[in-house]
Amino acid sequence: MCGIVGYVGGRDAVALILDGLRRLEYRGYDSAGVAVVSGGSLQRRRAAGKLERLAASLADEPLDGDWGIGHTRWATHGQPTEENAHPHQDCTGRIVVVHNGIIENHLELKARLAAAGHRFVTQTDTEVLAHLIESEYEGSLEQAAARALPMVRGVYALVLLHRDEPQTLVAARMGPPLVVGLSDGERFVASDVPALLHHTRDFLFLEDGDVATVRPDRVEVRTLAGATVTRSPQHVAWDAVQAEKGGYRHFMLKEIHEQPRSVRDTLAGRFSLEDGEVLLEELGPAAAGLLEASRIVLLACGTSWHAALVGKFLIEELAGLPAEVDYGSEFRYRTPLVGPGTVVVAISQSGETADTLAAFREAKSRGALPVAICNVRGSMLTREAEGSLLTHAGPEIGVASTKAFTAQLVALALLALHLGRLRGRLSPEKCRAHLSELTRIPHLMEQALHREDAIESLAGSLTRATDYLYLGRGVNYPIALEGALKLKEISYAHAEGYPAGEMKHGPIALVDDTLPVVALCPDGGVYEKMLSNVQEVKARGGRVIAVASSEGGELGALLQGSDDMILTVPSCAELWSPFLTVLPLQMLAYHVALRAGRDVDQPRNLAKSVTVE
Ligand code: G6P
């Protein structure tokens, strides 16, 4: 949801800011802009559309500056036009601001400021910030921000500059993330760590209510009330290469292929095969609370919500604990029955999804034990959790989540096994057997990924399909949902995921020879049931694409039609089959989208981190 970059130092600010924005484009890409200062002159350039439009305009008519700010936008208020693109400025043209978030009382503030003579030229909520700061300005941008921001309701990560305060940025946070990158004689501000990994791995993570004054040689952080606070620098383990495409055509494809590695890394060091135990000391104080859990509530959005559905299955099966799954966006708009004895597990790649965070806080305030499964150390979610289980997927840049999903499945599998041992539901021997199956998974994933050619040619035969039905049962029902979501997100084809047993209660009416039906039929307890569903589709002339452990058997005999296809994945314990069945679905979505000429890494209307409600 919008990417922010700021720079103070002596180098070419435009190039540095553009480079940072390019690495943040996954956060929003409908318009972009920069404002830089050189020799006391402030210049601004903005463009509608992707960042490359702004870059082209800057290449045609370069701007000079050795400090400044930039923004890539995901529109909330006002169309993605050049006029509405950030940075926004005040009436004097001396103050500019970039912002990520929503100012909820912007209409009220705008009316007040307009009555006082301020001229508004955009439809954005952000513009009020520039005028509000202007109205409070008495020679210090930092003090103006500290006076203005308490009047603002809503969420924001913002960076301001004033033309006449050289080499100074003021950054403030209330909600969306903001980090300060520390380098020799220069400082950066950004929405996210990957934007700056080429320059530094040392960061200050701003917290809610912080106002930071950033200069090339120092950063001062104060609260809105003016009290000095210390934010200690943290060294991050991610390196710049992880946030590059590494020879792949798209980030999504690279991330699909990184999954065996990320699953291995997320498993590493967290169990003892010898003892048949899962070791989750990192849960810290939350570890003790797990013992008293009578129920688990899993909260998430999007792909992470599908991981939560798999988690429910695993926790109930392996630990015998009731588990419920809720959308972050739904949970807090009813009266959730959570309290002491409930462990609330929020699952989020970014750790900054507004709906997940809000639901998490609600559960926490009702006395539930808050635990996070998250891919970003130091994110809002991990900071608010009593204990966190980090996934080690590395930076995920493609908007459609892939490697973060399978890493979340690992964390959930470990949590379920751990709970199973704690509650005496699993003996060490049983736990060991599950763990040793789990350790085979990365290798099996590698094998599954080698079958990409078949999927590429299948995608070639689907160019006319506009609707798809995905069916799965048991632990693979969430994978049907995830397969359909992947396809929708990046190819814009309509796809619906359904529990296969429910097909007869409605979706079966959709079946004809134009509707590809993707059926998840790996070996396991529900294989026969899936066969019946496949038969039902075939009986109505439907076209079936099955994901199965082998091409033979009854399924092979059933699917002999020239249009049908079986995509095989290696056989494994049914509980862990989602790790494998999801792979052909990710690749299918990728290749269908590619054929359709879609922008795989930056699908229309979406953003990677949704930091607004
Ligand atoms: C957005 C992304 C999805 C992601 C969801 C939840 O919608 O496009 O890929 O699954 O947010 O994000 P989170 O960071 O909380 O996992």
**What is the pLDDT at residue 285?**
86
CA 573 to ligand 1 centroid distance, Å: 28
Among 599, 610, 613, residue to substitute to test ligand 1 (most atoms within 8 Å of Cβ): 610
On the question of a common fold for 3-242 and 450-595, the answer reads no
Residue 271: Cβ-neighbour burial (10 angstroms; 0-12, 13-18, 19+): buried
Low-confidence ranges of the chain (pLDDT < 70): 1, 241, 612
**CB contact burial 492-529 (16+ within 10 A = b; e otherwise):** bbebbbbbbbebeeebbebbeeebbbbbbbbbbebbee
- Per DSSP, what are the bridge partners of residue 45? 34
**CB contact burial 414-432 (16+ within 10 A = b; e otherwise):** bbbbbbbbbeebbeeeebb
Cα gap 269→76, rounded to integer Å: 43
Cα gap 529→585, rounded to integer Å: 21
| Residue 2 annotated to the active site | yes
Q: How many CA atoms lie within 13 A of 608 on its CB side?
A: 29
129-134 LR contacts (CB < 8 Å, sep 24+): 129/88, 129/97, 129/99, 129/103, 129/156, 129/158, 129/160, 130/88, 130/89, 130/90, 130/95, 130/96, 130/97, 131/90, 131/91, 133/90, 133/95, 133/97, 133/160, 134/90, 134/91, 134/92, 134/95
**What is the pLDDT at residue 430?**
97
**What is the pLDDT at residue 611?**
73
| Residue 364 annotated to the active site | no
CA 301 to ligand 1 centroid distance, Å: 6
**What is the pLDDT at residue 2?**
87
The first and second tokens of residue 123, run together, are 């439809």
**What is the pLDDT at residue 237?**
79
Residue 327: Cβ-neighbour burial (10 angstroms; 0-12, 13-18, 19+): middle
**What is the pLDDT at residue 52?**
93
Residue 120: CB atoms within 10 Å: 15
Q: Is the CB of 606 under 6 A from ligand 1?
A: yes
Q: Is the CB of 356 under 6 A from ligand 1?
A: yes
The CATH topology of domain 243-446 is: Rossmann fold (3.40.50)
Atom 5 in ligand 1: which residue has the minimum CA distance? 302
**What is the pLDDT at residue 126?**
93
Among 601, 608, 612, residue to substitute to test ligand 1 (most atoms within 8 Å of Cβ): 608
Structurally, at CATH architecture level, domain 3-242 sits in: 4-Layer Sandwich (3.60)
CA 380 to ligand 1 centroid distance, Å: 15
Residue with tokens 């095969």, as numbered in its chain: 273
**What is the pLDDT at residue 503?**
87
> Which tens digits make up the pLDDT trace of 200-255?
999 999 998 999 999 999 999 999 989 999 999 999 877 776 777 878 999 999 99
Give the single-character DSSP code of 119: P
Nearest to 545 by CA among 571, 524, 531, 563: 563
CA 610 to ligand 1 centroid distance, Å: 7
Which sequence spans correspond to the domains of the chain?
A: 3-242, 243-446, 450-595
Q: Is the CB of 224 under 6 A from ligand 1?
A: no
The first and second tokens of residue 242, run together, are 């992880």
**What is the pLDDT at residue 35?**
98
Residue with tokens 């109505």, as numbered in its chain: 540
**What is the pLDDT at residue 24?**
87
Q: Is the CB of 611 under 6 A from ligand 1?
A: no
450-595 is a CATH 3.40.50.10490 domain: yes
Q: Is the CB of 547 under 6 A from ligand 1?
A: no
